[in-house]
A = this chain, B = another copy of it.
Amino acid sequence: MRNRVFIKNLKEHIGKEVVLAGWVNIRRDQGKMVFFDFRDMTGIVQCVVLPSHTEAIEKAKEIRPEWVLKVSGIVNKRPEKNINPDVQNGDIELEVVSIEVLSPAHELPFDMSLEGYNLELTTELDNRALVLRHPKIQAVFKVQETIIDSFREFMKKNMFFEFQAPAITPATAEGGAEVFQVSYFDKKAYLTQSPQLYKQIVMSAFERCFSVNKIFRAEPSSTTRHLTEIVSLDAEMSFIDSWEDVRDMAEETVRFILKQVEEKNKEHLKILGATIPVMIEKTPTLSLREVQQRIFEKFKRDVRGEKDTNPEDERQICEIIKEETGSDFVFIYGYPTRKKPFYVYPNPEEPEYNEGMDLLCRGVEWLSGGRRISDYDQLMKHVEEWKMDPEKIKMFLEAFKYGVPPEGGFAFGAERMTMQLLGLKNIREASMFPRDMNRIDERLGSDGY
Q: Does A4 contact B (CB under 8 A)?
A: yes
Q: Are A21 and B182 in contact (CB under 8 A)?
A: no
Count of identical protomers in the assembly: 2
Whole-angstrom CA separation of A213 from B229 in the bound complex:
13
Q: Does A204 contact B (CB under 8 A)?
A: yes
A389 to chain B, nearest CB (A): 12
Residues on the B chain within 8 Å of A319, using CB: none
How many residues does chain A have at the interface if contact means C-beta atoms less than 8 Å apart? 98
A4-B239, A170-B442, A398-B127 known; A68+B405 contact, CB < 8 A? yes
Q: Are B180 and A181 in contact (CB under 8 A)?
A: no
Q: Are B401 and A41 in contact (CB under 8 A)?
A: no
Whole-angstrom CA separation of A129 from B204 in the bound complex:
8
| Chain B residue with the shortest CB-CB distance to A241 | B1
Q: Does A66 contact B (CB under 8 A)?
A: yes
Q: Are A130 and B402 in contact (CB under 8 A)?
A: yes
Per-residue CB proximity of A89-118 to B under 8 Å, as 1/0?
000000000000011111010000000000
Q: Could you list some 27 contacts between A and B, CB below 8 A?
A: A1-B239, A4-B239, A21-B405, A66-B403, A67-B403, A68-B403, A105-B401, A106-B402, A128-B201, A129-B399, A130-B399, A130-B401, A130-B402, A133-B402, A138-B206, A145-B162, A149-B162, A168-B180, A168-B216, A169-B441, A170-B442, A170-B444, A171-B449, A180-B182, A186-B448, A187-B449, A202-B432
A133 to chain B, nearest CB (A): 4
Q: Are B399 and A103 in contact (CB under 8 A)?
A: no
Q: Are B103 and A184 in contact (CB under 8 A)?
A: no
Q: Does A330 contact B (CB under 8 A)?
A: no
Q: Are B448 and A188 in contact (CB under 8 A)?
A: yes
Residues on the B chain within 8 Å of A161, using CB: 41, 141-142, 145
Q: Are A184 and B180 in contact (CB under 8 A)?
A: yes
Per-residue CB proximity of A343-387 to B under 8 Å, as 1/0?
000000000000000000000000000000011100000000000
A237 to chain B, nearest CB (A): 10
Per-residue CB proximity of A164-192 to B under 8 Å, as 1/0?
11111111000000001111111111010
A31 to chain B, nearest CB (A): 27
